[in-house]
Structure 1
Amino acid sequence: MTEAATFTASDGETIAYYIDDFTDPWREAPVMFLLHSAMGNSERFYSWVPGLARHFRLIRMDLRGHGRSSVPDLSAPLTMDRLVDDVVELMALLRMEKAHVTANSAGGYVAQNLAMREPEKVLSMAVVGSTPGLSPEALKWLPRIKKEGLRHFLADTIHMRFDLASTGPGMVEWFLDQTEQNDRDFVVRFIGYAATQNWSDQLHRIRCPSLVILPGAETVGAAALYDTMRDRIPNVRMIAYEHMPHNIADMLPDRCVADIMAFHRDTFGYPGADRR
Protein backbone atom coordinates (compact mmCIF):
# COMPACT_ATOMS: atom_id res chain seq x y z
CA MET A 1 0.00 0.00 0.00
CA THR A 2 3.07 2.20 -0.38
CA GLU A 3 3.99 3.13 -3.94
CA ALA A 4 7.41 4.53 -4.90
CA ALA A 5 7.74 6.49 -8.13
CA THR A 6 9.58 9.31 -9.85
CA PHE A 7 8.71 12.00 -12.36
CA THR A 8 10.68 14.39 -14.51
CA ALA A 9 10.29 18.03 -13.51
CA SER A 10 9.91 20.69 -16.18
CA ASP A 11 13.63 21.52 -15.96
CA GLY A 12 14.65 17.88 -16.46
CA GLU A 13 15.46 16.93 -12.86
CA THR A 14 14.15 13.65 -11.45
CA ILE A 15 11.89 14.02 -8.42
CA ALA A 16 11.14 10.95 -6.29
CA TYR A 17 7.96 10.49 -4.29
CA TYR A 18 6.02 7.91 -2.30
CA ILE A 19 2.28 7.41 -1.89
CA ASP A 20 1.12 5.84 1.39
CA ASP A 21 -2.59 5.01 1.48
CA PHE A 22 -4.09 2.92 4.28
CA THR A 23 -7.45 4.69 4.25
CA ASP A 24 -10.81 2.91 3.91
CA PRO A 25 -11.19 1.92 0.24
CA TRP A 26 -14.83 3.04 0.12
CA ARG A 27 -14.09 6.59 1.30
CA GLU A 28 -12.65 9.53 -0.63
CA ALA A 29 -9.63 10.26 1.55
CA PRO A 30 -8.16 13.73 1.96
CA VAL A 31 -4.69 14.16 0.50
CA MET A 32 -1.70 15.33 2.52
CA PHE A 33 1.74 16.20 1.15
CA LEU A 34 4.70 15.62 3.48
CA LEU A 35 7.84 17.69 2.85
CA HIS A 36 11.01 16.81 4.76
CA SER A 37 13.87 18.84 6.19
CA ALA A 38 17.14 19.87 4.57
CA MET A 39 19.74 17.10 4.70
CA GLY A 40 16.85 14.64 5.07
CA ASN A 41 14.58 12.64 2.79
CA SER A 42 11.12 11.09 2.84
CA GLU A 43 12.33 8.23 5.06
CA ARG A 44 12.59 10.69 7.94
CA PHE A 45 8.80 10.48 8.17
CA TYR A 46 8.89 6.72 8.87
CA SER A 47 7.45 7.27 12.35
CA TRP A 48 4.74 9.66 11.12
CA VAL A 49 3.32 7.48 8.36
CA PRO A 50 1.47 4.90 10.53
CA GLY A 51 -0.59 7.54 12.33
CA LEU A 52 -1.36 9.68 9.28
CA ALA A 53 -1.75 7.21 6.41
CA ARG A 54 -4.77 5.58 8.03
CA HIS A 55 -6.69 8.83 7.55
CA PHE A 56 -4.92 10.68 4.71
CA ARG A 57 -3.59 9.68 1.33
CA LEU A 58 0.01 10.69 1.96
CA ILE A 59 2.36 11.98 -0.72
CA ARG A 60 5.96 12.07 0.53
CA MET A 61 8.23 13.91 -1.89
CA ASP A 62 12.03 13.96 -1.84
CA LEU A 63 13.08 17.57 -2.33
CA ARG A 64 15.41 18.02 -5.30
CA GLY A 65 18.96 17.18 -4.33
CA HIS A 66 17.77 14.88 -1.54
CA GLY A 67 16.91 11.19 -1.20
CA ARG A 68 16.20 9.51 -4.53
CA SER A 69 15.70 12.83 -6.34
CA SER A 70 18.48 13.96 -8.64
CA VAL A 71 21.13 16.45 -7.57
CA PRO A 72 21.01 19.53 -9.82
CA ASP A 73 24.18 20.68 -11.51
CA LEU A 74 25.87 23.61 -9.81
CA SER A 75 25.06 25.73 -12.85
CA ALA A 76 21.29 25.14 -12.44
CA PRO A 77 19.42 27.92 -10.61
CA LEU A 78 18.28 27.09 -7.07
CA THR A 79 15.28 29.22 -6.13
CA MET A 80 12.28 28.95 -3.87
CA ASP A 81 10.00 29.21 -6.89
CA ARG A 82 11.70 26.15 -8.38
CA LEU A 83 11.23 24.18 -5.14
CA VAL A 84 7.56 25.17 -5.10
CA ASP A 85 7.23 24.28 -8.79
CA ASP A 86 8.28 20.70 -7.98
CA VAL A 87 5.30 20.32 -5.64
CA VAL A 88 2.90 22.02 -8.05
CA GLU A 89 4.05 19.82 -10.94
CA LEU A 90 3.64 16.66 -8.86
CA MET A 91 0.14 17.75 -7.89
CA ALA A 92 -0.69 18.25 -11.56
CA LEU A 93 0.77 14.85 -12.45
CA LEU A 94 -1.39 13.18 -9.79
CA ARG A 95 -4.41 15.27 -10.85
CA MET A 96 -4.77 16.87 -7.44
CA GLU A 97 -6.23 20.35 -7.48
CA LYS A 98 -5.61 20.94 -3.78
CA ALA A 99 -4.16 19.21 -0.74
CA HIS A 100 -3.20 19.61 2.88
CA VAL A 101 0.52 20.33 3.24
CA THR A 102 2.54 19.24 6.27
CA ALA A 103 6.26 19.83 6.52
CA ASN A 104 9.31 19.75 8.75
CA SER A 105 12.03 22.40 8.98
CA ALA A 106 13.21 23.40 5.46
CA GLY A 107 10.31 21.50 3.96
CA GLY A 108 8.22 24.09 5.75
CA TYR A 109 9.94 26.82 3.78
CA VAL A 110 8.53 25.24 0.65
CA ALA A 111 5.12 24.75 2.28
CA GLN A 112 4.90 28.39 3.36
CA ASN A 113 5.84 29.68 -0.07
CA LEU A 114 3.43 27.27 -1.75
CA ALA A 115 0.63 28.57 0.50
CA MET A 116 1.52 32.16 -0.37
CA ARG A 117 2.02 31.67 -4.11
CA GLU A 118 -0.71 29.10 -4.82
CA PRO A 119 -3.31 29.65 -2.09
CA GLU A 120 -6.04 27.85 -4.01
CA LYS A 121 -3.99 24.63 -3.92
CA VAL A 122 -3.40 24.51 -0.14
CA LEU A 123 -6.29 23.43 2.09
CA SER A 124 -4.22 23.69 5.24
CA MET A 125 -0.61 24.08 6.29
CA ALA A 126 1.11 22.43 9.25
CA VAL A 127 4.81 23.10 9.81
CA VAL A 128 7.12 21.73 12.49
CA GLY A 129 10.29 23.59 13.46
CA SER A 130 10.03 25.87 10.45
CA THR A 131 10.48 29.65 10.42
CA PRO A 132 10.12 32.06 7.46
CA GLY A 133 13.66 31.46 6.31
CA LEU A 134 16.76 29.94 7.88
CA SER A 135 18.73 32.07 10.33
CA PRO A 136 21.75 33.78 8.70
CA GLU A 137 23.74 32.25 11.56
CA ALA A 138 23.62 29.03 9.54
CA LEU A 139 26.09 30.56 7.08
CA LYS A 140 28.73 29.94 9.74
CA TRP A 141 28.18 26.19 9.34
CA LEU A 142 29.30 26.12 5.73
CA PRO A 143 33.09 26.36 6.12
CA ARG A 144 32.99 23.54 8.69
CA ILE A 145 30.81 21.33 6.50
CA LYS A 146 33.15 21.87 3.56
CA LYS A 147 36.21 21.09 5.66
CA GLU A 148 34.94 18.37 8.00
CA GLY A 149 32.06 16.78 6.10
CA LEU A 150 28.43 16.52 7.11
CA ARG A 151 28.71 13.68 9.58
CA HIS A 152 31.56 15.16 11.62
CA PHE A 153 29.97 18.61 11.71
CA LEU A 154 26.57 17.29 12.76
CA ALA A 155 28.02 14.88 15.32
CA ASP A 156 29.97 17.72 16.89
CA THR A 157 26.88 19.97 17.06
CA ILE A 158 24.29 17.26 17.74
CA HIS A 159 23.16 18.99 20.97
CA MET A 160 21.75 21.77 18.78
CA ARG A 161 19.30 19.29 17.27
CA PHE A 162 18.54 16.60 19.84
CA ASP A 163 17.82 16.54 23.55
CA LEU A 164 20.44 13.93 24.36
CA ALA A 165 18.96 13.23 27.79
CA SER A 166 15.80 11.85 26.22
CA THR A 167 17.03 10.67 22.80
CA GLY A 168 18.55 7.22 22.43
CA PRO A 169 21.94 6.81 20.75
CA GLY A 170 20.35 4.64 18.07
CA MET A 171 18.30 7.56 16.74
CA VAL A 172 21.30 9.85 16.75
CA GLU A 173 23.39 7.33 14.79
CA TRP A 174 20.55 6.76 12.32
CA PHE A 175 20.19 10.51 11.84
CA LEU A 176 23.93 10.83 11.16
CA ASP A 177 23.84 7.88 8.75
CA GLN A 178 20.94 9.46 6.88
CA THR A 179 22.45 12.93 6.60
CA GLU A 180 25.84 11.54 5.54
CA GLN A 181 24.22 10.15 2.38
CA ASN A 182 23.56 13.65 1.05
CA ASP A 183 25.68 15.38 -1.55
CA ARG A 184 27.83 17.74 0.52
CA ASP A 185 28.19 20.42 -2.13
CA PHE A 186 24.44 20.56 -2.71
CA VAL A 187 23.74 20.74 1.04
CA VAL A 188 26.15 23.66 1.33
CA ARG A 189 24.40 25.34 -1.58
CA PHE A 190 20.91 24.64 -0.20
CA ILE A 191 21.73 25.91 3.30
CA GLY A 192 23.55 28.92 1.91
CA TYR A 193 20.49 29.83 -0.17
CA ALA A 194 17.97 29.23 2.64
CA ALA A 195 20.01 31.39 5.04
CA THR A 196 19.64 34.38 2.70
CA GLN A 197 15.85 34.13 2.41
CA ASN A 198 13.27 35.77 4.68
CA TRP A 199 9.60 36.23 3.81
CA SER A 200 8.35 37.49 7.19
CA ASP A 201 6.73 40.48 5.52
CA GLN A 202 4.68 38.16 3.28
CA LEU A 203 3.23 35.82 5.92
CA HIS A 204 -0.13 37.61 5.83
CA ARG A 205 -0.64 35.98 2.42
CA ILE A 206 -1.02 32.55 4.04
CA ARG A 207 -4.80 32.38 4.22
CA CYS A 208 -5.42 28.70 4.89
CA PRO A 209 -5.88 27.29 8.40
CA SER A 210 -2.35 26.82 9.70
CA LEU A 211 -0.57 24.99 12.50
CA VAL A 212 2.93 25.87 13.68
CA ILE A 213 4.60 23.42 16.07
CA LEU A 214 7.76 24.95 17.43
CA PRO A 215 10.66 23.81 19.59
CA GLY A 216 10.65 25.89 22.78
CA ALA A 217 14.45 25.94 22.86
CA GLU A 218 15.02 26.47 19.13
CA THR A 219 18.70 26.20 18.29
CA VAL A 220 18.73 26.18 14.49
CA GLY A 221 16.16 28.74 13.30
CA ALA A 222 15.72 32.30 14.55
CA ALA A 223 13.40 31.70 17.52
CA ALA A 224 11.95 35.22 17.45
CA LEU A 225 10.47 34.50 14.02
CA TYR A 226 7.92 32.19 15.62
CA ASP A 227 6.43 35.27 17.27
CA THR A 228 6.31 36.85 13.83
CA MET A 229 4.42 33.84 12.48
CA ARG A 230 1.94 34.05 15.34
CA ASP A 231 1.36 37.74 14.69
CA ARG A 232 1.20 37.73 10.89
CA ILE A 233 -0.39 34.47 9.74
CA PRO A 234 -4.11 35.27 9.94
CA ASN A 235 -5.52 31.85 10.91
CA VAL A 236 -2.79 30.10 12.89
CA ARG A 237 -2.55 27.77 15.88
CA MET A 238 0.79 27.79 17.69
CA ILE A 239 2.00 24.87 19.83
CA ALA A 240 5.34 25.01 21.65
CA TYR A 241 7.25 21.94 22.81
CA GLU A 242 8.96 23.51 25.76
CA HIS A 243 12.68 23.03 26.40
CA MET A 244 13.15 21.06 23.16
CA PRO A 245 15.82 21.83 20.52
CA HIS A 246 15.23 21.83 16.79
CA ASN A 247 14.60 18.20 15.81
CA ILE A 248 11.22 17.71 17.49
CA ALA A 249 9.84 15.95 14.41
CA ASP A 250 12.38 13.16 14.98
CA MET A 251 12.38 13.14 18.79
CA LEU A 252 8.63 13.43 19.37
CA PRO A 253 6.92 11.97 16.28
CA ASP A 254 3.84 10.60 18.07
CA ARG A 255 3.22 13.94 19.75
CA CYS A 256 3.60 15.77 16.44
CA VAL A 257 1.16 13.41 14.72
CA ALA A 258 -1.34 13.70 17.59
CA ASP A 259 -1.25 17.49 17.43
CA ILE A 260 -1.60 17.48 13.63
CA MET A 261 -4.55 15.09 13.85
CA ALA A 262 -6.21 17.24 16.53
CA PHE A 263 -5.74 20.32 14.34
CA HIS A 264 -7.49 18.59 11.45
CA ARG A 265 -10.33 17.29 13.61
CA ASP A 266 -10.92 20.72 15.12
CA THR A 267 -10.64 22.55 11.81
CA PHE A 268 -12.21 20.18 9.29
CA GLY A 269 -14.08 17.60 11.38
CA TYR A 270 -11.79 14.81 10.22
CA PRO A 271 -9.95 12.48 10.20
CA GLY A 272 -12.09 9.82 11.76
CA ALA A 273 -14.89 12.16 12.78
CA ASP A 274 -17.64 10.13 11.10
CA ARG A 275 -16.32 6.63 11.86
CA ARG A 276 -18.82 4.06 13.11
Structure 2
Amino acid sequence: MSLILNGQHRMDDLREVALTGKPIINGRERRVFDLASVRLHAPIRNPRSLRDFYAFEAHVKTANANRGRDVPPAWYDIPVFYFSNPNAIFGESDTIPYPRKSKALDYELEVACIIGKQGQDIPADAAEDYIFGYVIMNDWSARDLQKQEMSVGLGPAKGKDFATSLGAYLVTPDELADRHTGRVGVYDLSMVARVNGEERSRGNWADIYWSFGQMLERASDGVTLYPGEVIGSGTVGTGCLLETTRAQGPWLQSGDVVELEIERLGILRNAIL
Protein backbone atom coordinates (compact mmCIF):
# COMPACT_ATOMS: atom_id res chain seq x y z
CA MET A 1 0.00 0.00 0.00
CA SER A 2 2.88 2.40 0.75
CA LEU A 3 4.11 1.91 -2.81
CA ILE A 4 0.74 3.05 -4.16
CA LEU A 5 0.49 6.01 -1.79
CA ASN A 6 4.01 7.23 -2.58
CA GLY A 7 3.41 7.13 -6.30
CA GLN A 8 5.91 7.65 -9.10
CA HIS A 9 9.02 8.49 -7.10
CA ARG A 10 8.79 5.18 -5.21
CA MET A 11 8.41 3.34 -8.52
CA ASP A 12 11.47 5.15 -9.83
CA ASP A 13 13.42 3.93 -6.77
CA LEU A 14 12.39 0.34 -7.43
CA ARG A 15 13.35 0.55 -11.10
CA GLU A 16 16.78 1.86 -10.13
CA VAL A 17 17.29 -1.04 -7.71
CA ALA A 18 16.27 -3.55 -10.38
CA LEU A 19 18.50 -2.00 -13.04
CA THR A 20 21.59 -1.18 -10.96
CA GLY A 21 21.46 -3.57 -8.01
CA LYS A 22 22.16 -0.72 -5.58
CA PRO A 23 21.01 -1.73 -2.07
CA ILE A 24 20.46 1.85 -0.86
CA ILE A 25 18.31 4.32 -2.78
CA ASN A 26 17.44 7.75 -1.34
CA GLY A 27 18.60 6.61 2.09
CA ARG A 28 16.38 3.53 2.18
CA GLU A 29 17.38 -0.09 1.81
CA ARG A 30 15.90 -1.77 -1.27
CA ARG A 31 16.45 -5.34 -2.38
CA VAL A 32 15.59 -7.47 -5.37
CA PHE A 33 14.72 -11.08 -4.52
CA ASP A 34 14.69 -14.10 -6.78
CA LEU A 35 11.05 -14.99 -7.37
CA ALA A 36 11.63 -18.65 -6.52
CA SER A 37 12.92 -17.68 -3.06
CA VAL A 38 9.82 -15.84 -1.86
CA ARG A 39 6.14 -16.52 -1.24
CA LEU A 40 3.87 -13.97 -2.85
CA HIS A 41 1.02 -12.44 -0.88
CA ALA A 42 -1.89 -10.60 -2.44
CA PRO A 43 -0.52 -7.37 -3.97
CA ILE A 44 -2.97 -5.46 -1.78
CA ARG A 45 -4.23 -7.39 1.24
CA ASN A 46 -6.68 -4.92 2.79
CA PRO A 47 -8.10 -2.70 0.06
CA ARG A 48 -10.16 0.28 1.14
CA SER A 49 -13.05 -1.07 -0.88
CA LEU A 50 -13.78 -3.75 -3.48
CA ARG A 51 -16.19 -3.05 -6.32
CA ASP A 52 -16.88 -5.67 -8.96
CA PHE A 53 -18.45 -4.73 -12.28
CA TYR A 54 -20.35 -6.83 -14.83
CA ALA A 55 -18.55 -5.64 -17.96
CA PHE A 56 -18.16 -8.56 -20.41
CA GLU A 57 -21.20 -8.91 -22.67
CA ALA A 58 -20.59 -12.58 -23.50
CA HIS A 59 -20.72 -13.51 -19.81
CA VAL A 60 -23.80 -11.40 -19.20
CA LYS A 61 -25.64 -12.98 -22.14
CA THR A 62 -24.84 -16.53 -21.07
CA ALA A 63 -25.57 -15.94 -17.38
CA ASN A 64 -28.98 -14.49 -18.24
CA ALA A 65 -29.74 -17.23 -20.76
CA ASN A 66 -29.07 -19.80 -18.04
CA ARG A 67 -31.81 -18.08 -16.04
CA GLY A 68 -34.18 -18.15 -19.02
CA ARG A 69 -34.13 -14.43 -19.73
CA ASP A 70 -32.61 -11.79 -22.01
CA VAL A 71 -30.00 -9.25 -21.01
CA PRO A 72 -31.77 -6.40 -19.18
CA PRO A 73 -31.82 -3.33 -21.47
CA ALA A 74 -30.38 -1.18 -18.67
CA TRP A 75 -27.15 -3.19 -18.83
CA TYR A 76 -26.35 -1.42 -22.11
CA ASP A 77 -27.06 1.99 -20.57
CA ILE A 78 -24.71 1.97 -17.58
CA PRO A 79 -21.86 -0.16 -16.21
CA VAL A 80 -23.16 -1.77 -13.01
CA PHE A 81 -21.29 -3.13 -9.99
CA TYR A 82 -21.72 -4.51 -6.50
CA PHE A 83 -19.58 -4.18 -3.38
CA SER A 84 -17.77 -7.31 -2.17
CA ASN A 85 -15.82 -7.99 1.03
CA PRO A 86 -12.42 -6.22 1.19
CA ASN A 87 -11.55 -8.17 4.36
CA ALA A 88 -11.52 -11.61 2.72
CA ILE A 89 -8.62 -11.21 0.28
CA PHE A 90 -6.40 -14.15 -0.69
CA GLY A 91 -3.18 -14.19 -2.70
CA GLU A 92 -1.19 -16.50 -4.93
CA SER A 93 -0.96 -20.05 -3.49
CA ASP A 94 -3.26 -19.27 -0.55
CA THR A 95 -5.75 -22.02 0.27
CA ILE A 96 -9.40 -21.11 -0.20
CA PRO A 97 -11.85 -22.43 2.41
CA TYR A 98 -14.88 -24.14 0.87
CA PRO A 99 -17.99 -22.23 2.02
CA ARG A 100 -19.52 -24.28 4.81
CA LYS A 101 -23.12 -24.09 3.59
CA SER A 102 -22.43 -24.45 -0.13
CA LYS A 103 -22.11 -27.38 -2.50
CA ALA A 104 -21.62 -25.33 -5.66
CA LEU A 105 -18.30 -23.46 -5.54
CA ASP A 106 -17.23 -21.71 -8.76
CA TYR A 107 -14.29 -19.61 -9.92
CA GLU A 108 -14.60 -16.39 -11.94
CA LEU A 109 -11.80 -15.24 -14.25
CA GLU A 110 -11.50 -11.46 -14.03
CA VAL A 111 -9.03 -8.59 -14.24
CA ALA A 112 -8.98 -5.78 -11.70
CA CYS A 113 -7.38 -2.37 -11.47
CA ILE A 114 -5.97 -0.75 -8.34
CA ILE A 115 -6.70 2.93 -7.88
CA GLY A 116 -3.53 5.01 -7.53
CA LYS A 117 -4.80 8.57 -7.17
CA GLN A 118 -7.69 10.19 -5.36
CA GLY A 119 -10.47 11.49 -7.58
CA GLN A 120 -14.17 12.19 -7.93
CA ASP A 121 -16.30 12.52 -11.08
CA ILE A 122 -13.46 11.12 -13.18
CA PRO A 123 -14.09 11.44 -16.94
CA ALA A 124 -13.68 8.13 -18.76
CA ASP A 125 -11.02 9.53 -21.08
CA ALA A 126 -8.90 10.66 -18.10
CA ALA A 127 -9.25 7.49 -16.04
CA GLU A 128 -5.85 6.00 -16.87
CA ASP A 129 -4.24 8.75 -14.78
CA TYR A 130 -5.97 7.21 -11.74
CA ILE A 131 -5.01 3.56 -12.35
CA PHE A 132 -1.88 2.39 -10.54
CA GLY A 133 -1.86 -1.11 -12.00
CA TYR A 134 -3.68 -4.33 -12.81
CA VAL A 135 -4.01 -7.75 -11.19
CA ILE A 136 -5.76 -11.03 -11.89
CA MET A 137 -8.90 -11.43 -9.80
CA ASN A 138 -10.80 -14.58 -8.86
CA ASP A 139 -14.28 -13.68 -7.69
CA TRP A 140 -15.05 -16.98 -5.95
CA SER A 141 -18.78 -17.72 -5.99
CA ALA A 142 -21.04 -20.11 -4.09
CA ARG A 143 -23.68 -20.54 -6.79
CA ASP A 144 -26.34 -22.21 -4.65
CA LEU A 145 -26.17 -19.50 -1.99
CA GLN A 146 -26.07 -16.80 -4.65
CA LYS A 147 -29.12 -18.19 -6.45
CA GLN A 148 -31.16 -18.35 -3.25
CA GLU A 149 -30.38 -14.86 -1.99
CA MET A 150 -30.67 -13.14 -5.38
CA SER A 151 -34.15 -14.60 -5.86
CA VAL A 152 -35.17 -12.03 -3.25
CA GLY A 153 -33.92 -9.23 -5.50
CA LEU A 154 -30.82 -8.33 -3.51
CA GLY A 155 -27.22 -9.45 -3.59
CA PRO A 156 -24.90 -11.12 -4.27
CA ALA A 157 -23.94 -11.28 -0.60
CA LYS A 158 -23.10 -14.56 1.17
CA GLY A 159 -22.64 -16.15 -2.24
CA LYS A 160 -19.51 -14.05 -2.73
CA ASP A 161 -18.25 -12.49 0.50
CA PHE A 162 -16.13 -15.40 1.74
CA ALA A 163 -13.14 -15.03 -0.63
CA THR A 164 -11.64 -12.97 -3.44
CA SER A 165 -8.17 -13.78 -4.78
CA LEU A 166 -5.85 -11.08 -6.17
CA GLY A 167 -2.45 -11.63 -7.79
CA ALA A 168 -0.10 -12.93 -8.75
CA TYR A 169 1.57 -9.56 -9.39
CA LEU A 170 0.56 -5.92 -9.55
CA VAL A 171 1.54 -4.85 -13.07
CA THR A 172 1.77 -1.16 -13.95
CA PRO A 173 0.22 0.10 -17.21
CA ASP A 174 3.57 0.99 -18.80
CA GLU A 175 4.39 -2.74 -18.89
CA LEU A 176 1.31 -3.33 -21.07
CA ALA A 177 1.51 -0.29 -23.34
CA ASP A 178 2.32 -2.17 -26.54
CA ARG A 179 -0.91 -4.18 -26.17
CA HIS A 180 -3.19 -1.20 -25.55
CA THR A 181 -6.30 -1.34 -27.73
CA GLY A 182 -6.96 2.40 -27.83
CA ARG A 183 -9.82 2.11 -25.35
CA VAL A 184 -9.12 3.41 -21.85
CA GLY A 185 -7.84 0.59 -19.65
CA VAL A 186 -8.34 -2.15 -22.25
CA TYR A 187 -5.54 -4.42 -23.51
CA ASP A 188 -5.27 -7.25 -26.01
CA LEU A 189 -4.26 -9.96 -23.54
CA SER A 190 -5.45 -13.57 -23.38
CA MET A 191 -7.22 -14.89 -20.27
CA VAL A 192 -7.25 -18.61 -19.37
CA ALA A 193 -8.63 -20.69 -16.48
CA ARG A 194 -7.53 -24.22 -15.57
CA VAL A 195 -8.80 -26.68 -12.99
CA ASN A 196 -6.33 -29.39 -11.96
CA GLY A 197 -4.25 -28.54 -15.03
CA GLU A 198 -7.14 -28.86 -17.50
CA GLU A 199 -8.16 -25.77 -19.46
CA ARG A 200 -11.77 -24.80 -18.73
CA SER A 201 -12.06 -21.20 -19.92
CA ARG A 202 -10.44 -18.91 -22.48
CA GLY A 203 -11.13 -15.30 -23.41
CA ASN A 204 -9.48 -11.94 -24.04
CA TRP A 205 -9.45 -8.71 -22.09
CA ALA A 206 -10.06 -6.82 -25.36
CA ASP A 207 -13.55 -8.38 -25.57
CA ILE A 208 -14.78 -6.25 -22.66
CA TYR A 209 -17.88 -4.16 -23.40
CA TRP A 210 -17.43 -1.51 -20.70
CA SER A 211 -13.86 -0.17 -20.50
CA PHE A 212 -12.07 0.54 -17.23
CA GLY A 213 -12.40 4.20 -18.17
CA GLN A 214 -16.18 3.88 -18.22
CA MET A 215 -16.16 1.83 -15.03
CA LEU A 216 -14.12 4.45 -13.15
CA GLU A 217 -16.35 7.22 -14.45
CA ARG A 218 -19.37 5.38 -13.08
CA ALA A 219 -17.77 4.40 -9.76
CA SER A 220 -16.56 7.96 -9.08
CA ASP A 221 -19.85 9.65 -9.96
CA GLY A 222 -20.50 11.82 -6.91
CA VAL A 223 -18.11 9.66 -4.85
CA THR A 224 -14.39 9.94 -4.13
CA LEU A 225 -12.16 7.03 -5.12
CA TYR A 226 -9.03 6.63 -2.99
CA PRO A 227 -5.65 4.97 -3.59
CA GLY A 228 -5.80 1.27 -2.84
CA GLU A 229 -9.41 0.70 -3.87
CA VAL A 230 -10.01 -2.30 -6.15
CA ILE A 231 -12.22 -2.24 -9.24
CA GLY A 232 -13.00 -5.65 -10.78
CA SER A 233 -14.11 -6.17 -14.38
CA GLY A 234 -16.57 -8.98 -13.91
CA THR A 235 -16.13 -12.34 -15.57
CA VAL A 236 -14.74 -12.74 -19.07
CA GLY A 237 -16.89 -14.76 -21.47
CA THR A 238 -16.75 -18.52 -20.61
CA GLY A 239 -14.77 -17.55 -17.49
CA CYS A 240 -16.70 -19.64 -14.95
CA LEU A 241 -18.36 -23.03 -14.53
CA LEU A 242 -21.76 -21.34 -14.42
CA GLU A 243 -21.29 -20.66 -18.13
CA THR A 244 -19.41 -23.71 -19.31
CA THR A 245 -21.73 -26.21 -17.58
CA ARG A 246 -24.97 -24.27 -18.21
CA ALA A 247 -25.30 -23.77 -14.46
CA GLN A 248 -25.55 -27.54 -13.89
CA GLY A 249 -22.06 -28.32 -12.59
CA PRO A 250 -20.08 -30.32 -11.69
CA TRP A 251 -18.76 -27.64 -9.40
CA LEU A 252 -15.39 -27.29 -7.72
CA GLN A 253 -14.50 -29.76 -4.98
CA SER A 254 -12.17 -29.72 -1.99
CA GLY A 255 -8.66 -30.51 -3.21
CA ASP A 256 -9.12 -28.91 -6.63
CA VAL A 257 -6.47 -26.45 -7.80
CA VAL A 258 -7.64 -23.46 -9.84
CA GLU A 259 -5.21 -21.47 -12.00
CA LEU A 260 -6.20 -18.18 -13.58
CA GLU A 261 -3.74 -16.78 -16.11
CA ILE A 262 -3.78 -13.44 -17.87
CA GLU A 263 -1.04 -12.76 -20.35
CA ARG A 264 1.67 -10.56 -18.73
CA LEU A 265 -0.12 -10.54 -15.37
CA GLY A 266 1.10 -14.00 -14.38
CA ILE A 267 -0.77 -16.98 -12.92
CA LEU A 268 -3.00 -16.80 -9.86
CA ARG A 269 -3.11 -20.27 -8.33
CA ASN A 270 -5.24 -21.44 -5.39
CA ALA A 271 -6.09 -24.82 -3.92
CA ILE A 272 -9.47 -25.37 -2.31
CA LEU A 273 -9.55 -26.66 1.25
Q: Output the TM-score relative to the length of structure 2.
A: 0.28
Name which structure has the greater RCO, CA cutoff 8 Å, separation 6+: 2
Q: Output the TM-score relative to the length of structure 1.
A: 0.28
**Higher helix content, 1 or 2:** 1
**Higher strand content, 1 or 2:** 2
